[in-house]
Structure formats: C-alpha cells, structure tokens
Structure 1
Amino acid sequence: MLLIISMFLGGFSHQALAVKGVVFIHGTGYQTNAEDDYWTSDFINSIMSGNNNPHLVINCDFEQYIWTERASVCVADQIYRWGLANQITELYLITHSNGANVVRWILSNPTWDSRYPIIITATQNVTAIAPSSGGTPLANAVVNGNIFEQSLGWLLGYASDAVQMQQVEWMEYFNEFWLLGTDGRSLPVPFKVVTGTDVDSSPFDGDSYCGGYSNQVALEFTQNWLDSCSDGFLECRSQEAAGSVWFRDKQVLNGSEPLSHQQSRRACFGLDQIIRNNI
C-alpha cells in the first residue's frame, strides 16, 4: 500500500506537467450507468469538449448513509484506481445534490479510509451543483409525513438511509459534528456552489422543456413544501449552507433563466459551457 501511495503522490513532484482529471459524482440513488441515467452524455461530453483531460463518472449506491462502503468508500475506491491508471495529479470534482455530501464526508474525515488523504491532496476544486448541504423538508415529508407526502418518494428514492440523512435536523447535526464547510468549519479545498433558485413550468415557455417538461411540473408542485427561493427540491439556504457561492443561476445563465433541480444536471442555459470554461 505504501508503494502504491508513493506512486500516486509522486506525480506531484516528478511529472513535468500536471494531469488534471475530472470526476462527476451523482446524487441520491443507486447508479450503475450514471452517465446516461443521471447526467446524460450530452451534458458530460459538452463539459469535456475542447480538452484532453481524462474524466470519470462515478457509479455508487447513494441510497446508503454517506460514510458507508457503498457510498463514500465506493467513490474513493473508484477515484483511486482511476487516478493511478491515468497518472492523475490534480482532481476537479463535479457533484450534484447529495453527491456533495459524500464528497464533504471524504474531505472532512481523512482518517476514515487510507485513500481519503490521497484524494484530498490531489483535489484542486469541487464544483457543487445544487448541493443538499442543509437537507430538505421534502426528506422530512417522505420519512415522517402522511401517505400523500410519502408519495414524494419518486423524487427522493423513498425512505432510504440517504433520505433519512437529508432530513433538515439530521444535516444540522452532521454539519456541526462530522462535515466541514459550514461557517467556521473550513474545508481543505475550494468548494464552489452553483445555486438553483426557481422552477419554470409554463407550457408556453420553451425553456421549461429543458430537462423534461413533466419534471418541471412536478418540481414546481414540490415547491409547496419549500421556500420561494428553491429549485423544487432544495431551498437556496440549504444549497448555500456549506462552501462558498460561485453563482446563483439567474446571475449568469443564458436569458437569466433559473435552474430546477433536474435542469442543473443537464446542458441547460449554458451551464455546461460555464463549467467547461472553469475547468
């Protein structure tokens, strides 16, 4: 193990040029083909176009608690093996939703797994798109609500361990004791947040069809459980509870469009181009 670690870290001092690798980390759910089923290849290919950086799309079981073997340890194993195979010296992580919590666990708990310090050292930047850093009342509704509220499971994955954890009071506890990134608890790497602030679902507005019109209608409905500033799944204050805000959707996107929780993992309104240019 020490030899392997030294080989990975050796790239920092012995390679003439840095090799930057880009990693896409999905949100809640059990993924076996996240490129097609979660992100879409259009989104990933657009972000990666114009450069030769290797990229990795994580496939792990994020129905579990974030610290488990099938969640954060799975992420670390996939990044570690891929990093060695591609001689990666710098990591650029792109997360969506609960994927940001998984990454924060790795960054906050370096002694949990021997691969965590290696990944932390290599990570240059985390772009957290619509992170569920402060949890969501929708998780509370699914776990503790009536039958009607529990039908919101289509969005969350029903009352899995991951949904349990994303209840507001649970995330308050983890942010206080286990996860860095909130006020006074700095992360070891930049953690830049992209915030979705609203949902448009007018059938007469073509922008409402990016990411699927039916998803927009459903997310506007779930806003009934949330503050007016939300992406249909997460309130703005939850998305901005950890790290630093890179931008809110309407500030920079084409047409000053908002990003729903579905649209923020799609090539909508120039989001893909902004991330590509940042890489």
Structure 2
Amino acid sequence: MLKKLLAFAVFACVGVVQANQGVAFIHGTGKQTDAYNDYWQGPMIQSVIQGLPNPSNYVVINCDFEQFMWDSQASGCLADQLTNFINTKNITSMKLITHSNGGNIVRWIMSNPTWDSRYPNIINKTSEVIALAASSAGTPLADAATNGNVFEEAVGWLLGYKSDAVKQQQESWMAYYNQNWLLGTAGRPSLPKSFVNVVGTDVDSAFWDSDSYCGGYTLNVGLEFTQNWLDSCSDGFLNCSSQEAAGALWFRDKSKTRGREPLSHNQSRRKCFNLDVFLRNRI
C-alpha cells in the first residue's frame, strides 16, 4: 500500500512539473514594435498575468498586421513568435488573448493547419482563444476607408489607409474568407480550440464622465463619431454582430463590467472597468 501511495505521489508531482501554462497577447491591425507599451499598456498586461501560476510565462506579440492574414509578416510572424515562446518557456498549455483583427489571424492558423509546419504544434498547445472585440465579420468602416470616401479622413487614424489588412476586413471580403478559408462561423466547422468573445456594445465619451477617459479620451471621442455609421450595438469600430460571428459568446460588456460600463473598441484592450480582472480569473 505504501509503495502505491509513493508511486501516486511521484506521478502527481511529475504532472505538476509537466504542466506549464502561458498566455500570449496578440494585437490587432497595425505594425507593432512595442505592443506592450503602445497597444496594450503595462497596467493591463501586468494585471492579467497575475492569473498565471508563473507570471513570467507570457509573451506580447509584435508583428506587421497591416498585411493579409496569411502573409509571412502576419500569421508567419505570429507563428514564429508563438513557437519561440513555447520552446523558450517550455509551454505545455497557453491561452491566446487577441484583439480586433488579431482574432482573424489566429483563426487563420487554427483553420489551416497544413499551411505551415509550425501551426499544428501551436494549435496543440493552445487551450483557448479569448477574443476581445474580434472583427470576425469585418466592418463597414473598412469598406469606407478602402473606397476612399468621406470616412477615410475620419477612420484613417484607427485603420490606416487602404492597407491589405483594412481591405481584408471589408464585410464582403470577410464573408468570402469565412465561407472558404476560416472556421468557426455559422454553417462552417468549429475551430479546433475554444474561441470565446468579449463584445463591446457602445461608446461613452462625455467629457464630464471620468469613465470616458479610460484608455484615452480622444480615441473614445473618435470612436463615438464613427459609431454613427454603425449599428446601434457597436464599439465604435465593429458591430456586435461581427464581434460575435465566430466562436461563442463569453460576455457582452455591460453584463459584467464595473458600473455596467460599455467597452469601446479602444477600451477592450486596456485596463478598463475590471476587464483585466475577468481575464486574469479566466487564465
């Protein structure tokens, strides 16, 4: 009996040693070289990683997401940095926290495992994708910016001008990709790993409301302006229907956030209204 107990204890200890959890923060559209400070900001990341058994097991991705999702500078760069993270930290299980178009690039990897020899190991090591304001069905603002109409000046600071990533996020283009290349949307096979959505439903930018300043007041003002050309349920950049088009709903902002505050597209990547706490607890 004693031998059996000792054997069980050894087996349990080995299991604990072998389990090495990590988290990756994956930015949205844009060419990032310091996403830690410029995209997510330190307070957000440092709060979330406290949910890890080893808070040093995280990586902040810096890639050129101005490209099409299949481009070597986009999904190829992401695969390279995730593979390096897995190998360097000996990661056995990781959660991917994505924002906006980052969710599409992750879905590309998940949907096309034979495209790149690194993809299968990344999929295998991924336990869950937490998609913050994912642009899974694109946005009318990408159509507007690409077509060069009056929206171009208004959304250029948010999207960039007519980059491949912006073209990709046109609604008709995303409909094509979802039907032919990407998994997880209605009528398509499920993604190989859980893909859960946090959805922003509104934008507040009243100057007298301190909550409007979380994440940057000027950015929230711009998002409230662009919201005029979106559905009543939107985060200023994406309609709720786009954010919910792939995977499954985790929650819409007001159902969980402090004070039932909405999360603008900018605030859903920042430490606003306890979003960081929900992510921390989930990982």
Does the 8 Å contact 2:48/2:280 carry over to 1? yes
SS of alignment partner, residue 198 of structure 2:
strand
- Shift in Å at residue 215 of structure 1? 1.1
Match of 1:43 in 2: 44
Q: For 1:120 and 1:264, how far apart are their aligned partners in 2?
A: 25
Q: Find the residue that maps to 2:73 and give its secondary structure.
A: coil
Runs (5+) with no aligned partner, structure 1: 1-12
How far the C-alpha of 1:145 sits from its partner, in A, is 3.6
Residues 1:150 and 1:114: Cα distance change in structure 2 (over 3 Å): same
| Cα drift, residue 85 of structure 1 | 1.0
1:214 is aligned to 2:215: no
The within-5 A match list for 1:121-132 is: 121-132=124-135
- Does structure 1 residue 105 correspond to structure 2 residue 108? yes
Give 2:26's aligned residue.
25
Are residue 149 (structure 1) and residue 155 (structure 2) matched? no
Cα deviation 1:59-89 (Å, max 9, x = unaligned) = 0000000001000010001110121111110
Instruction: Give the C-alpha shift of residue 16 in structure 1.
Output: 4.0
**151-160 vs 108-117, greater mean Cα deviation:** 151-160
C-alpha distance in 1 between matches for 2:129 and 2:51 = 20
Question: Where do 1:1-279 residues align within 5 Å?
Answer: 16-49=17-50, 51=52, 52-53=54-55, 54-146=57-149, 148-151=150-153, 152-184=155-187, 185-279=189-283
Q: CA deviation at 1:91?
A: 1.3
TM-score normalized by the length of structure 2:
0.92
Query: Are the counterparts in 1 of residues 18 and 92 from structure 2 also a CA contact under 8 Å?
Result: no
CA distance in 1, matches of 2:119, 2:223: 35
TM-score scaled by length of structure 1: 0.93
Structure 2: how far apart are the matches of 1:276 and 1:145?
A: 40
Bigger Cα Rg: 2
Q: Measure, in 2, the Cα distance between the counterparts of 1:103 and 1:50.
A: 22
Could you say what secondary structure the match of 1:31 adopts?
coil
Go from structure 1 to structure 2 and tell me whether the alpha carbon gap of 1:15 and 1:109 turns closer, same or farther (over 3 Å shift): farther
Q: CA RMSD in A?
A: 1.2
- Distance 1:15-1:273 versus aligned 2 partners, 3 A rule: closer
Whole-angstrom distance in 2 between the partners of 1:14 and 1:116: 25
SS in 2 for 1:230: coil
Q: Which residue identity lines up with residue 84 of structure 1 in the other structure?
A: N
* 1:50 CA drift (Å): 5.3
Aligned equivalents of 1:248, 1:57: Cα separation in 2: 25
Contact 2:99 2:133 (C-alpha < 8 Å) held by counterparts = yes
Distance 1:16 1:38 in 2: 33
Structure 1 residue 49, shift from structure 2 partner: 2.2
Shift of 1:21: 1.1
Alignment identity in percent?
61
Tell me the secondary structure at the aligned position of residue 71 of structure 1. Answer: helix
Q: 1:204-241: CA deviations, max 9, x gaps? A: 11111101111111100001110010000000000000
Distance 1:156 1:115 in 2: 29
